[in-house]
Amino acid sequence: MTIQLAELDRCFHGIVPGMIATCDREGVPNISYISQLHLIDEKHVALSCQFFNKTRQNLDENPLATVVVYDPLTFDAFRLRLRFLRAETSGPLFDAMAARIIAIASHSGMTGIFKLRSADVCEVLSLEPCRGFLEPPPAGQRVVVEHPEGPLTELRGLQMVSERVNRACDLETLLSSALAALDEVFGFSHGMILVPDDTGQRLITLASHGYGDDGIGAEVKLGEGLIGVVAQTRRLLRISAVESALHYGRAIRAEVQASGGTLTAEIPLSGLPDAQSQMAIPLIMQDRFIGVLALECKDTLTFEQWHEAFLQVLANQIAGGIDRMSDDDDEPEEPEPTAPAPETAARSHSFLYYRNDDCVFVDGEYLIRNVPGKILWKILRAYETEGRTEFSNRELRLDPSLGLPAFKDNLESRLILLRKRLEQKCPDIKLVPTKRGRFALSVSSKLALAERETA
Protein backbone atom coordinates (compact mmCIF):
# COMPACT_ATOMS: atom_id res chain seq x y z
CA MET A 1 0.00 0.00 0.00
CA THR A 2 1.38 3.39 -0.97
CA ILE A 3 1.03 6.15 1.59
CA GLN A 4 0.63 9.76 0.54
CA LEU A 5 2.28 12.48 2.62
CA ALA A 6 -1.00 14.37 2.90
CA GLU A 7 -2.49 11.36 4.73
CA LEU A 8 0.00 11.94 7.52
CA ASP A 9 -1.18 15.48 8.31
CA ARG A 10 -1.85 14.77 11.95
CA CYS A 11 1.64 13.27 12.36
CA PHE A 12 3.14 16.67 11.49
CA HIS A 13 1.58 18.62 14.36
CA GLY A 14 4.37 17.77 16.78
CA ILE A 15 2.02 16.22 19.34
CA VAL A 16 4.30 13.22 19.70
CA PRO A 17 7.63 14.68 18.56
CA GLY A 18 9.24 12.94 15.63
CA MET A 19 12.96 12.27 15.28
CA ILE A 20 15.62 12.98 12.70
CA ALA A 21 18.88 11.12 12.12
CA THR A 22 21.75 12.72 10.21
CA CYS A 23 25.48 12.10 10.00
CA ASP A 24 28.53 14.15 9.13
CA ARG A 25 30.98 13.41 6.35
CA GLU A 26 33.03 11.23 8.74
CA GLY A 27 30.02 9.02 9.46
CA VAL A 28 29.37 10.25 13.00
CA PRO A 29 25.60 9.98 13.51
CA ASN A 30 23.34 12.47 15.26
CA ILE A 31 19.80 11.91 16.49
CA SER A 32 17.44 14.66 17.53
CA TYR A 33 13.76 15.46 18.06
CA ILE A 34 11.89 17.50 15.48
CA SER A 35 10.02 20.56 16.66
CA GLN A 36 8.20 21.29 13.42
CA LEU A 37 7.91 19.43 10.12
CA HIS A 38 6.07 21.38 7.48
CA LEU A 39 4.37 19.64 4.57
CA ILE A 40 5.05 21.56 1.34
CA ASP A 41 3.70 19.13 -1.26
CA GLU A 42 3.68 15.39 -1.98
CA LYS A 43 7.44 15.39 -2.61
CA HIS A 44 8.77 18.00 -0.22
CA VAL A 45 8.79 18.85 3.47
CA ALA A 46 10.58 21.58 5.40
CA LEU A 47 12.38 21.34 8.74
CA SER A 48 12.39 24.35 11.03
CA CYS A 49 15.84 25.54 12.05
CA GLN A 50 15.68 27.73 15.17
CA PHE A 51 19.24 27.23 16.35
CA PHE A 52 22.25 26.46 14.18
CA ASN A 53 22.53 22.95 15.52
CA LYS A 54 24.33 19.71 14.71
CA THR A 55 21.48 18.48 12.52
CA ARG A 56 21.85 21.48 10.29
CA GLN A 57 25.68 21.27 10.26
CA ASN A 58 25.41 17.63 9.21
CA LEU A 59 22.93 18.41 6.44
CA ASP A 60 25.41 20.92 5.04
CA GLU A 61 28.04 18.16 4.93
CA ASN A 62 25.81 15.24 3.95
CA PRO A 63 22.31 16.01 2.65
CA LEU A 64 20.73 12.66 3.57
CA ALA A 65 18.45 12.38 6.60
CA THR A 66 15.90 9.94 7.95
CA VAL A 67 12.86 11.14 9.85
CA VAL A 68 10.31 9.12 11.83
CA VAL A 69 6.95 10.70 12.70
CA TYR A 70 4.15 9.32 14.88
CA ASP A 71 0.40 9.26 14.58
CA PRO A 72 -0.77 10.92 17.82
CA LEU A 73 -3.96 8.86 17.87
CA THR A 74 -2.56 5.38 17.21
CA PHE A 75 1.23 5.66 17.83
CA ASP A 76 1.84 4.19 14.36
CA ALA A 77 5.23 5.29 13.05
CA PHE A 78 6.25 6.34 9.53
CA ARG A 79 9.74 6.66 8.10
CA LEU A 80 10.68 9.39 5.61
CA ARG A 81 14.01 9.29 3.78
CA LEU A 82 15.00 12.86 2.93
CA ARG A 83 17.52 14.76 0.88
CA PHE A 84 18.25 18.33 2.04
CA LEU A 85 17.90 20.74 -0.87
CA ARG A 86 18.17 24.31 0.43
CA ALA A 87 17.66 26.63 3.40
CA GLU A 88 15.14 29.40 2.81
CA THR A 89 15.45 32.54 4.93
CA SER A 90 12.67 34.56 3.29
CA GLY A 91 9.61 34.03 1.14
CA PRO A 92 6.17 32.53 1.68
CA LEU A 93 7.35 29.20 3.14
CA PHE A 94 9.69 30.90 5.59
CA ASP A 95 7.01 33.42 6.57
CA ALA A 96 4.42 30.70 7.15
CA MET A 97 6.75 28.67 9.38
CA ALA A 98 8.11 31.75 11.13
CA ALA A 99 4.62 33.02 12.03
CA ARG A 100 3.92 29.92 14.10
CA ILE A 101 7.20 30.29 15.98
CA ILE A 102 6.66 34.04 16.50
CA ALA A 103 3.25 33.31 18.03
CA ILE A 104 4.67 30.67 20.39
CA ALA A 105 7.64 32.91 21.23
CA SER A 106 5.26 35.75 22.00
CA HIS A 107 3.18 33.65 24.39
CA SER A 108 6.41 32.41 26.00
CA GLY A 109 7.85 35.92 26.44
CA MET A 110 10.66 35.24 23.96
CA THR A 111 9.89 37.50 21.05
CA GLY A 112 13.07 38.04 19.08
CA ILE A 113 14.96 35.32 20.98
CA PHE A 114 13.16 32.18 19.84
CA LYS A 115 12.83 32.65 16.11
CA LEU A 116 13.13 30.81 12.84
CA ARG A 117 16.58 30.98 11.27
CA SER A 118 15.68 29.04 8.16
CA ALA A 119 13.11 26.75 6.58
CA ASP A 120 15.19 23.77 5.47
CA VAL A 121 13.56 22.30 2.39
CA CYS A 122 14.01 18.56 1.80
CA GLU A 123 12.99 16.23 -1.00
CA VAL A 124 11.13 13.15 0.23
CA LEU A 125 12.92 10.17 -1.31
CA SER A 126 10.65 7.55 0.24
CA LEU A 127 7.86 7.13 2.76
CA GLU A 128 6.93 3.87 4.47
CA PRO A 129 5.36 2.61 7.68
CA CYS A 130 7.83 1.40 10.34
CA ARG A 131 7.01 -2.28 10.25
CA GLY A 132 7.05 -4.13 13.52
CA PHE A 133 7.16 -0.93 15.58
CA LEU A 134 3.99 -1.84 17.48
CA GLU A 135 2.78 -5.24 18.59
CA PRO A 136 -0.62 -6.27 17.24
CA PRO A 137 -3.51 -5.14 19.44
CA PRO A 138 -4.70 -7.74 21.96
CA ALA A 139 -7.10 -10.31 20.52
CA GLY A 140 -10.62 -8.96 20.23
CA GLN A 141 -9.52 -5.32 20.32
CA ARG A 142 -9.39 -3.07 17.31
CA VAL A 143 -7.72 0.30 17.03
CA VAL A 144 -10.54 2.62 16.05
CA VAL A 145 -9.78 6.10 14.83
CA GLU A 146 -12.57 8.46 13.99
CA HIS A 147 -12.01 10.08 10.63
CA PRO A 148 -13.58 13.40 9.74
CA GLU A 149 -16.40 13.08 7.30
CA GLY A 150 -14.38 14.76 4.60
CA PRO A 151 -14.46 17.73 2.30
CA LEU A 152 -17.68 16.86 0.48
CA THR A 153 -19.69 17.03 3.68
CA GLU A 154 -17.77 20.07 4.79
CA LEU A 155 -18.43 21.75 1.47
CA ARG A 156 -22.15 21.50 2.15
CA GLY A 157 -21.50 22.92 5.60
CA LEU A 158 -19.61 25.79 4.07
CA GLN A 159 -22.53 26.47 1.81
CA MET A 160 -24.85 26.68 4.86
CA VAL A 161 -22.58 29.05 6.77
CA SER A 162 -22.13 31.14 3.67
CA GLU A 163 -25.88 31.50 3.18
CA ARG A 164 -26.37 32.68 6.76
CA VAL A 165 -23.64 35.27 6.38
CA ASN A 166 -25.18 36.47 3.13
CA ARG A 167 -28.66 36.81 4.63
CA ALA A 168 -27.53 39.07 7.49
CA CYS A 169 -28.95 42.59 7.19
CA ASP A 170 -26.67 44.28 9.68
CA LEU A 171 -23.14 43.83 10.88
CA GLU A 172 -23.99 42.53 14.33
CA THR A 173 -26.19 39.79 12.86
CA LEU A 174 -23.55 38.94 10.29
CA LEU A 175 -20.84 38.45 12.91
CA SER A 176 -22.97 36.56 15.42
CA SER A 177 -24.59 34.33 12.80
CA ALA A 178 -21.21 33.47 11.25
CA LEU A 179 -19.77 32.37 14.61
CA ALA A 180 -22.94 30.53 15.63
CA ALA A 181 -23.09 28.72 12.29
CA LEU A 182 -19.44 27.66 12.56
CA ASP A 183 -20.33 26.04 15.87
CA GLU A 184 -23.56 24.50 14.65
CA VAL A 185 -22.24 23.13 11.36
CA PHE A 186 -18.59 22.36 12.15
CA GLY A 187 -18.53 22.16 15.94
CA PHE A 188 -16.10 25.08 16.31
CA SER A 189 -17.47 25.97 19.73
CA HIS A 190 -15.33 28.99 20.53
CA GLY A 191 -14.80 31.84 18.11
CA MET A 192 -14.05 35.55 18.04
CA ILE A 193 -13.97 38.26 15.43
CA LEU A 194 -11.60 41.11 16.19
CA VAL A 195 -11.16 44.40 14.40
CA PRO A 196 -8.35 46.97 14.61
CA ASP A 197 -8.85 49.93 16.93
CA ASP A 198 -8.34 53.54 15.91
CA THR A 199 -4.61 53.43 16.53
CA GLY A 200 -4.08 50.29 14.46
CA GLN A 201 -1.88 48.95 17.27
CA ARG A 202 -4.54 46.83 18.94
CA LEU A 203 -7.39 44.56 17.99
CA ILE A 204 -10.70 44.70 19.82
CA THR A 205 -13.09 41.77 20.06
CA LEU A 206 -16.28 42.80 18.34
CA ALA A 207 -18.11 39.46 18.41
CA SER A 208 -17.53 36.28 20.34
CA HIS A 209 -19.19 32.89 20.64
CA GLY A 210 -18.74 30.38 23.44
CA TYR A 211 -17.12 32.72 25.96
CA GLY A 212 -20.19 34.43 27.40
CA ASP A 213 -20.41 38.21 27.19
CA ASP A 214 -17.05 38.81 28.77
CA GLY A 215 -15.21 38.37 25.49
CA ILE A 216 -16.57 41.50 23.84
CA GLY A 217 -14.15 44.39 24.02
CA ALA A 218 -11.17 42.18 24.92
CA GLU A 219 -8.01 43.60 23.38
CA VAL A 220 -4.97 42.01 21.74
CA LYS A 221 -1.80 43.93 20.86
CA LEU A 222 -0.60 43.78 17.29
CA GLY A 223 2.17 41.17 17.02
CA GLU A 224 1.39 39.49 20.35
CA GLY A 225 0.21 35.91 20.54
CA LEU A 226 -1.45 33.94 17.78
CA ILE A 227 -4.07 36.58 16.96
CA GLY A 228 -1.67 39.51 17.12
CA VAL A 229 0.82 37.72 14.87
CA VAL A 230 -1.89 36.86 12.34
CA ALA A 231 -2.94 40.52 12.30
CA GLN A 232 0.64 41.65 11.82
CA THR A 233 1.64 39.11 9.20
CA ARG A 234 -1.80 38.89 7.56
CA ARG A 235 -1.21 35.16 7.33
CA LEU A 236 -3.43 32.27 8.43
CA LEU A 237 -2.02 30.36 11.38
CA ARG A 238 -3.03 26.98 12.75
CA ILE A 239 -1.55 25.51 15.91
CA SER A 240 -2.49 22.05 17.11
CA ALA A 241 -1.33 20.72 20.46
CA VAL A 242 -1.05 24.27 21.79
CA GLU A 243 0.06 23.01 25.17
CA SER A 244 2.87 20.99 23.58
CA ALA A 245 3.97 24.02 21.59
CA LEU A 246 3.96 26.22 24.70
CA HIS A 247 5.70 23.44 26.62
CA TYR A 248 8.48 23.47 24.02
CA GLY A 249 8.62 27.27 24.26
CA ARG A 250 8.84 27.16 28.05
CA ALA A 251 11.67 24.61 27.91
CA ILE A 252 13.65 27.01 25.74
CA ARG A 253 12.70 29.89 28.03
CA ALA A 254 14.10 28.01 31.01
CA GLU A 255 17.35 27.36 29.12
CA VAL A 256 17.63 31.02 28.07
CA GLN A 257 17.01 32.15 31.65
CA ALA A 258 19.57 29.68 32.98
CA SER A 259 22.17 31.11 30.61
CA GLY A 260 21.47 34.68 31.77
CA GLY A 261 19.20 35.83 28.93
CA THR A 262 16.70 38.64 29.42
CA LEU A 263 13.08 37.77 28.77
CA THR A 264 9.74 39.49 28.84
CA ALA A 265 6.66 38.21 30.67
CA GLU A 266 4.71 35.26 29.31
CA ILE A 267 1.44 36.27 27.65
CA PRO A 268 -1.57 34.15 28.54
CA LEU A 269 -3.73 32.74 25.76
CA SER A 270 -6.33 35.30 24.78
CA GLY A 271 -9.38 33.03 24.89
CA LEU A 272 -9.71 29.61 26.47
CA PRO A 273 -6.98 29.13 29.06
CA ASP A 274 -6.84 25.42 28.19
CA ALA A 275 -7.17 25.67 24.41
CA GLN A 276 -5.44 22.80 22.58
CA SER A 277 -6.11 23.83 18.98
CA GLN A 278 -6.16 27.34 17.62
CA MET A 279 -6.66 28.77 14.21
CA ALA A 280 -6.72 32.43 13.23
CA ILE A 281 -7.49 33.76 9.78
CA PRO A 282 -6.86 37.33 8.64
CA LEU A 283 -9.86 39.15 7.19
CA ILE A 284 -8.61 41.02 4.15
CA MET A 285 -10.58 43.03 1.61
CA GLN A 286 -8.63 44.05 -1.46
CA ASP A 287 -5.44 45.12 0.32
CA ARG A 288 -7.07 46.38 3.49
CA PHE A 289 -6.84 44.58 6.81
CA ILE A 290 -10.36 44.26 8.20
CA GLY A 291 -9.76 42.03 11.23
CA VAL A 292 -9.15 38.46 12.42
CA LEU A 293 -11.43 35.44 12.70
CA ALA A 294 -10.06 33.37 15.60
CA LEU A 295 -11.28 29.88 16.48
CA GLU A 296 -10.13 27.57 19.24
CA CYS A 297 -11.01 24.27 20.83
CA LYS A 298 -10.06 22.11 23.80
CA ASP A 299 -9.40 19.12 21.52
CA THR A 300 -5.91 18.68 20.14
CA LEU A 301 -6.70 17.83 16.54
CA THR A 302 -9.76 19.95 15.75
CA PHE A 303 -8.28 21.88 12.85
CA GLU A 304 -6.77 20.00 9.94
CA GLN A 305 -4.99 21.20 6.87
CA TRP A 306 -8.02 21.04 4.64
CA HIS A 307 -9.94 23.29 7.08
CA GLU A 308 -7.62 26.10 6.08
CA ALA A 309 -9.00 26.33 2.56
CA PHE A 310 -12.67 26.45 3.38
CA LEU A 311 -12.24 28.74 6.41
CA GLN A 312 -10.29 31.08 4.16
CA VAL A 313 -13.27 31.17 1.80
CA LEU A 314 -15.57 31.96 4.70
CA ALA A 315 -13.19 34.58 6.08
CA ASN A 316 -13.22 36.32 2.70
CA GLN A 317 -16.98 36.41 2.83
CA ILE A 318 -17.02 37.82 6.38
CA ALA A 319 -14.42 40.42 5.39
CA GLY A 320 -16.59 41.42 2.42
CA GLY A 321 -19.64 41.63 4.67
CA ILE A 322 -17.90 43.81 7.25
CA ASP A 323 -16.55 46.01 4.50
CA ARG A 324 -19.91 46.32 2.79
CA MET A 325 -21.71 47.20 6.00
CA SER A 326 -19.11 49.77 6.88
CA ASP A 327 -20.23 51.79 3.86
CA ASP A 328 -22.43 54.79 4.34
CA ASP A 329 -25.74 53.45 5.55
CA ASP A 330 -27.44 56.72 6.30
CA GLU A 331 -31.08 57.37 5.68
CA PRO A 332 -31.94 60.87 4.52
CA GLU A 333 -31.83 63.27 7.43
CA GLU A 334 -35.16 63.71 9.15
CA PRO A 335 -36.11 66.24 11.79
CA GLU A 336 -34.95 65.06 15.16
CA PRO A 337 -37.79 64.00 17.40
CA THR A 338 -37.81 66.11 20.51
CA ALA A 339 -39.61 63.70 22.77
CA PRO A 340 -38.69 64.22 26.37
CA ALA A 341 -36.31 61.76 27.90
CA PRO A 342 -37.97 58.86 29.68
CA GLU A 343 -38.47 59.11 33.38
CA THR A 344 -35.49 57.84 35.23
CA ALA A 345 -35.56 55.48 38.14
CA ALA A 346 -33.90 56.06 41.46
CA ARG A 347 -30.73 54.24 40.33
CA SER A 348 -27.88 56.43 39.11
CA HIS A 349 -24.60 56.08 37.23
CA SER A 350 -21.58 58.36 37.26
CA PHE A 351 -19.75 58.73 33.95
CA LEU A 352 -16.28 60.24 33.84
CA TYR A 353 -14.64 61.25 30.56
CA TYR A 354 -10.87 61.76 30.26
CA ARG A 355 -10.19 64.23 27.49
CA ASN A 356 -6.55 63.27 26.91
CA ASP A 357 -7.34 59.74 25.70
CA ASP A 358 -11.12 59.83 25.14
CA CYS A 359 -11.54 57.20 27.82
CA VAL A 360 -14.88 56.78 29.63
CA PHE A 361 -15.33 55.22 33.06
CA VAL A 362 -18.68 54.32 34.58
CA ASP A 363 -19.02 54.13 38.35
CA GLY A 364 -15.24 54.04 38.62
CA GLU A 365 -14.82 51.17 36.18
CA TYR A 366 -13.31 51.35 32.69
CA LEU A 367 -15.97 51.29 29.99
CA ILE A 368 -14.56 52.29 26.61
CA ARG A 369 -12.09 54.59 24.88
CA ASN A 370 -10.98 56.19 21.63
CA VAL A 371 -13.63 56.90 18.97
CA PRO A 372 -16.36 54.80 20.64
CA GLY A 373 -15.61 56.75 23.85
CA LYS A 374 -16.04 60.05 22.02
CA ILE A 375 -19.29 58.86 20.45
CA LEU A 376 -20.68 57.82 23.81
CA TRP A 377 -19.73 61.14 25.34
CA LYS A 378 -21.37 63.10 22.52
CA ILE A 379 -24.58 61.09 22.94
CA LEU A 380 -24.65 61.38 26.73
CA ARG A 381 -23.99 65.13 26.56
CA ALA A 382 -26.81 65.58 24.04
CA TYR A 383 -29.11 63.62 26.33
CA GLU A 384 -28.10 65.65 29.38
CA THR A 385 -28.32 69.10 27.80
CA GLU A 386 -31.08 68.68 25.19
CA GLY A 387 -32.92 65.57 26.35
CA ARG A 388 -32.27 63.96 22.97
CA THR A 389 -32.72 60.21 22.60
CA GLU A 390 -32.67 59.76 18.80
CA PHE A 391 -29.44 59.81 16.82
CA SER A 392 -28.28 59.06 13.29
CA ASN A 393 -25.08 57.61 11.90
CA ARG A 394 -25.00 60.54 9.50
CA GLU A 395 -24.68 63.17 12.23
CA LEU A 396 -21.86 61.18 13.81
CA ARG A 397 -20.06 61.03 10.48
CA LEU A 398 -20.44 64.77 9.98
CA ASP A 399 -19.14 65.68 13.43
CA PRO A 400 -15.45 66.61 12.98
CA SER A 401 -14.77 66.27 16.73
CA LEU A 402 -15.19 62.50 16.47
CA GLY A 403 -12.39 62.24 13.93
CA LEU A 404 -13.95 59.51 11.79
CA PRO A 405 -12.11 58.94 8.53
CA ALA A 406 -13.85 60.00 5.34
CA PHE A 407 -13.62 56.50 3.82
CA LYS A 408 -14.45 53.16 5.49
CA ASP A 409 -14.87 54.64 8.94
CA ASN A 410 -15.99 51.37 10.64
CA LEU A 411 -18.69 53.35 12.41
CA GLU A 412 -20.99 50.33 12.55
CA SER A 413 -18.27 48.25 14.22
CA ARG A 414 -17.67 51.00 16.77
CA LEU A 415 -21.36 51.24 17.58
CA ILE A 416 -21.60 47.46 18.05
CA LEU A 417 -18.64 47.56 20.42
CA LEU A 418 -20.17 50.48 22.34
CA ARG A 419 -23.55 48.75 22.54
CA LYS A 420 -21.99 45.52 23.82
CA ARG A 421 -19.83 47.28 26.37
CA LEU A 422 -22.85 49.12 27.73
CA GLU A 423 -24.74 45.82 27.97
CA GLN A 424 -21.88 44.39 30.02
CA LYS A 425 -21.07 47.31 32.29
CA CYS A 426 -24.18 49.44 32.45
CA PRO A 427 -27.29 47.63 31.23
CA ASP A 428 -29.58 50.51 32.29
CA ILE A 429 -28.31 52.43 29.29
CA LYS A 430 -28.89 50.98 25.85
CA LEU A 431 -28.26 51.94 22.25
CA VAL A 432 -31.21 50.50 20.36
CA PRO A 433 -31.13 50.34 16.54
CA THR A 434 -34.38 51.83 15.27
CA LYS A 435 -33.93 51.65 11.51
CA ARG A 436 -31.14 51.65 9.00
CA GLY A 437 -28.58 54.26 10.04
CA ARG A 438 -30.45 55.38 13.17
CA PHE A 439 -30.51 54.40 16.82
CA ALA A 440 -32.08 55.49 20.09
CA LEU A 441 -30.57 56.02 23.53
CA SER A 442 -32.62 54.26 26.19
CA VAL A 443 -31.89 55.36 29.76
CA SER A 444 -33.57 53.94 32.83
CA SER A 445 -31.45 55.52 35.54
CA LYS A 446 -30.13 58.92 36.56
CA LEU A 447 -26.86 60.02 35.00
CA ALA A 448 -24.09 62.20 36.37
CA LEU A 449 -21.50 63.31 33.81
CA ALA A 450 -18.08 64.76 34.57
CA GLU A 451 -14.92 65.47 32.57
CA ARG A 452 -11.27 65.59 33.46
CA GLU A 453 -8.21 66.42 31.41
CA THR A 454 -6.16 63.42 32.58
CA ALA A 455 -6.39 60.57 35.01
Partner 1 sequence: MAPSYPPLPPDLVEFVQGGRSLIVGTCSAALEPECVRGVGLRVWPCACKLTLLIPNEPGAQTIANLRETGRVAITLSYVPTLKTIQLKGRVLAIRAGDEADHALARRYRELFAPELAFAGMAPAHTSRLAIWPCCAVEIDLDVVYAQTPGPTAGEKLPLAERA
Position among 9, 38, 66, 85 found at the interface with partner 1 (CB under 8 A): 66
What number of other Cβ atoms are within 10 A of residue 211's Cβ? 17
> What's the CA gap between 394 and 123, in Å, rounded?
59
Of the pair 83, 452, the CB lying nearest partner 1 is at 83
Nearest CA to 408 out of 188, 198, 138, 180 is that of 198
Site pattern 15..54 for partner 1 (x: CB under 8 A)? xxx-xxxxx-x-xxxxxxx-x--------------xx-xx
Among residues 230, 236, 22, 273, the alpha carbon closest in space to that of 106 is found at 230
* C-beta of 66 vs 162, nearer to partner 1: 66
Q: Which helix (H) or strand (E) holds 277?
A: strand 277-285
Sheet (strand 438-443) strand order: 390-392, 438-443, 429-435
Closer to partner 1 by CB, 18 or 217: give it. 18
| The only residue of 144, 152, 258, 455 in contact with partner 1, by rule CB under 8 A | 258
**Whole-number Å distance between alpha carbons of 247 and 177:** 35
Q: The sheet that has 446-452: what strands, in order across it?
A: 365-368, 359-362, 348-354, 446-452
* Smaller CB separation from partner 1, 54 or 381: 54
Q: How many residues bind partner 1 (CB under 8 A)?
A: 55
**Exactly one of 38, 39, 74, 223 binds partner 1 (CB under 8 A); which one?**
74
Of 6, 7, 42, 75, which one interacts with partner 1 (CB under 8 A)? 75
Nearer to partner 1, 53 or 89 (CB): 53
Distance CA 333, CA 96 (A): 49
Among residues 64 and 267, whose Cβ is nearest to partner 1?
64
What is the contact mask toward partner 1 in residues 285 to 324, using x (rule: CB under 8 A)? ---------------x------------------------
- Using the Cα atoms of residue 385, residue 390, residue 396 and residue 398 in order, give the sign of their dihedral: negative
Please report the DSSP string for 343-385 in residue order. PP-S-EEEEEEETTTTEEEETTEEEE-HHHHHHHHHHHHHHHH
Report how far apart, in Å, the C-alpha atoms of 430 and of each of 340, 347, 417, 442, 449 are.
16, 15, 12, 5, 16
Nearer to partner 1, 132 or 335 (CB): 132
111 touches partner 1 by CB under 8 A = no
Whole-number minimum distance, CB 140 to partner 1, in Å? 14
In angstroms, give the least distance from the CB of 139 to partner 1: 13
Q: Which of these segments, 66-74, 149-157, 164-172, 223-231, binds partner 1 (CB under 8 A)? A: 66-74
For 358, list phi and psi in degrees, rounded to 5. Answer: 50, 40
The contact mask relative to partner 1 for 224-243 (x = CB under 8 A, - = no) is: -----------------x--
Interface residues with partner 1 (CB under 8 A)? 15-17, 19-23, 25, 27-33, 35, 50-51, 53-54, 62, 64-68, 70, 72, 74-75, 77, 81, 130-137, 143, 241, 244, 247-248, 251-252, 254-256, 258-259, 261, 300
